[in-house]
């Protein structure tokens, strides 16, 4: 069973994170989840999902099954397994990734567990995927994205395509989630691919 670390931060796009959780759990992936306070706020604002970070309950995410493969780590718990390079994971995704989190990772800050786990993935040359959802982008954000790409991270903005002729918001969300899963090497069939 592959382990994947998922950090949810305070950018708009909570639907991407929730759908990614559902898809990865359905694909038999064990997920190590950590959520920033701003990420919890966005989950509530956009999806009506209330997460108490200090007293977290998996059912608060509204996931129906496979929650035995979902392991929660408090964003301030530096003793968590995912804070160490000796913990091997198939990759880490920060989805959605706020510009503040992106800047923290790009500059090697480790002020919370999400930033520390991302730093570990970079230093160990493991897959790190950041999913920013922001527009427009200024030169500082673009420089931080370039810095991360140069360090080996995958910068995967939440920019859905339209060639698969989406009929709903769910179709647009699935497009981005499918691209994340492609980067993780998790086979999914969430959308019609180009040329098929």
What does the pLDDT look like over 77-109, one tens digit per residue?
999 999 999 999 999 999 999 999 999 999 999
Residue 65: pLDDT band by 50, 70, 90 thresholds?
A: low
Domain ranges for the chain, please list them.
Answer: 3-184
Identify the helix (H) or strand (E) that includes residue 155.
Answer: strand 154-155
| More confident site: 157 or 69 | 157
What is the full DSSP assignment across 44-68? HHHH-----GGG--GGGGT--S-GG
pTM for the model stands at: 0.95
Architecture of the domain whose range is 3-184? 3-Layer(aba) Sandwich (3.40)
The predicted model gives 104-118 an average pLDDT of: 97
d(CA 60, CA 71): 14
């Amino acid at each position: 069973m592959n382990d994947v670390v998922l950090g949810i931060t305070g950018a708009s796009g909570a639907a991407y994170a929730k759908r990614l959780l559902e898809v990865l759990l359905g694909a038999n992936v064990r997920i190590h989840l950590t959520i920033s306070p701003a990420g919890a706020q966005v989950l509530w604002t956009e999806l009506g999902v209330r997460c108490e970070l200090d007293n977290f309950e998996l059912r608060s995410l509204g996931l129906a099954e496979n929650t035995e493969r979902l392991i929660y780590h408090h964003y301030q718990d530096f003793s968590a397994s995912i804070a160490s390079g000796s913990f091997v994971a198939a990759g880490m995704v920060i989805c959605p990734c706020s510009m503040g989190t992106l800047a923290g990772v790009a500059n090697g800050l480790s002020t919370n567990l999400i930033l520390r786990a991302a730093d570990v993935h970079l230093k160990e040359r493991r897959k790190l995927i950041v999913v920013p959802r922001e527009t427009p982008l200024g030169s500082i954000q673009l420089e931080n994205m370039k810095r991360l790409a140069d360090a080996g991270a995958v910068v995967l903005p939440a920019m859905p395509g339209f060639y698969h002729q989406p009929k709903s918001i769910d179709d647009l969300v699935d497009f981005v989630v499918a691209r994340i899963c492609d980067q993780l090497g998790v086979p999914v069939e969430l959308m019609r691919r180009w040329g098929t």
